[in-house]
Amino acid sequence: MTTPPEFEPDEPPPILGSWPRAYAVVAAFLAVLIALFTWFTKTFE
């Protein structure tokens, strides 16, 4: 018996092991970008 389409298994992402870790990486990337932009603004303005 095939799995009904509405019950798709919640697979982990291909890297990092779990979705919360993937989300944390995206949030951390944003924080790094803001820090870099802040440095950029302070340095050149």
Q: Judging by beta carbons within 10 Å of its beta carbon (0-12, 13-18, 19+), is residue 44 exposed, middle or buried?
A: exposed
Determine if 1 is a binding residue for other proteins (CB under 8 A): no
CA–CA distance, 11 with 32 (Å, rounded to integer): 28
Determine if 10 is a binding residue for other proteins (CB under 8 A): yes
**Count residues contacting other proteins (CB under 8 A)?**
25
Determine if 17 is a binding residue for other proteins (CB under 8 A): no
Q: Which of 1, 2, 3, 11 binds other proteins (CB under 8 A)?
A: 11
Measured between its terminal Cα atoms, the distance across the chain in Å is 65
Structure tokens, 1: 């018996």
Q: Which residues bind other proteins (CB under 8 A)?
A: 5-8, 10-14, 19, 22-23, 26-27, 29-30, 33-34, 37-38, 40-41, 43-45
